[in-house]
Amino acid sequence: MPEYDRAVAGIPDTLKGRSFTRVADWSPDELLTALDLADELKVERARRRELRILPGRTVGLIFRKPSTRTRISSEVGIAELGGMALYVPAADLQLSRGESTRDTALVLSRFLSAITIRTFDQTEVDEFAEHATIPIVNGLTDTSHPLQALADAMTIRERFGTLEGVRVAYLGDGNNVCHSLMRIAARTGMHLVAASPEGYLPDPVVVASCREDAAASGASIDVMVDPVEAVAGARVLYTDVWTSMGQEDEREQRLRDLAPYRIDAEKLAAAAPDAIALHCLPAHVGEEITADVLYGDRSLVWDQAENRLHVYKAVLALTVR
């Protein structure tokens, strides 16, 4: 097999050096470029073609929270692009002893070609991006999860052939995953309906700003409390855990408050006839999603998880110099 040639593959240089701290960093066209490349990289991987797009590059993975998909898809993706991954729990860095984010970003920029960060506070990712001279990729914060949103959009487009006009119902906690899904929907023309109980609704500032994006793309963003109204006619039913990392103390209350938002066979039956179920994982089976839906023939959850690999490789292929 010949080596994958980035010029022949037509990977554009327009995103070189750019960070991906949130979905809104990238224009609709840039997001679609990433999705197109992810599709292409998926095909090339199935052909077992060598993709030496990051030869000699080392990408840092700084994590303050556990991870299965983000960490493993990152390490595997970097290796598959011919680069080297360096996983570093944040507690092992001098950051944990008070070295500033700015100094850490400046120094790591001299060693690494990109950094993916999973942390609590979005401002930490933003501060890294402000001071680093290499791309900073958000691997999840308390308020956003942009790589997940790219994989979600890739999965929806694979199934329906388009994103424009696809009605997506997100049920449950209006959290980080919901925010990023809402933003990518707003930028790519999907009709997103988010249903959450009072107290768990998505951030109204994010909703208002996504509605501005939606006006330009033909998307629509609706927020409501009624889960039954939300699923009617939806082609995608999406949920996430009710207790995110860092919220463990609220678990019992959340289980009670969010119970009506569980995705089960009844809600799937009330959606469009060709509706699919998505979940970013990890799932708490029997809480936000029932086993029959998660493991049923309408679930695209495992494709969605696989697509984390392809979108991450696309983001690095586009941004790393």
Catalytic residues: 118, 145, 148, 240, 280, 308
Query: If binding is defined by CB under 6 A, does position 184 make contact with ligand CP?
Result: no
Query: If binding is defined by CB under 6 A, does position 179 make contact with ligand CP?
Result: no
| Other CB atoms within 10 Å distance of the CB of residue 248 | 9
Q: Nearer to ligand NVA by C-beta: 113 or 148?
A: 148
With a CB cutoff of 8 Å and minimum separation 6, the contacts of 265 are 290, 292, 293, 296
| Other CB atoms within 10 Å distance of the CB of residue 275 | 20
* Segment near ligand CP (CB under 6 A); pick from 23-31, 68-76, 202-210, 288-296: 68-76
Query: If binding is defined by CB under 6 A, does position 176 make contact with ligand NVA?
Result: yes
State the Cα torsion 260-261-263-269 to the nearest 10°.
70
Least gap, CB of 170 to ligand CP (angstroms):
14
Query: If binding is defined by CB under 6 A, does position 152 make contact with ligand NVA?
Result: no
Residues 280-319 binding ligand CP (CB under 6 A) are 280-282
Q: Kindly calculate the radius of gyration of the chain based on its CA atoms and give it in whole angstroms.
A: 19
β 114-118/58-63 pair status: parallel
Residues 134-153 binding ligand CP (CB under 6 A) are 140, 148
The one of ligand CP, ligand NVA, none whose footprint includes residue 240, by CB under 5 to 8 A per kind, is: ligand NVA
Which of 258, 264, 240, 262 is CA-nearest to residue 198? 258
Least gap, CB of 220 to ligand NVA (angstroms):
24
What is the spatial distance between Cα 248 and Cα 66, in angstroms, rounded to a whole number? 14
The one of ligand CP, ligand NVA, none whose footprint includes residue 217, by CB under 5 to 8 A per kind, is: none
Note the residues at the interface with ligand CP (CB under 6 A). Answer: 67-70, 140, 148, 280-282
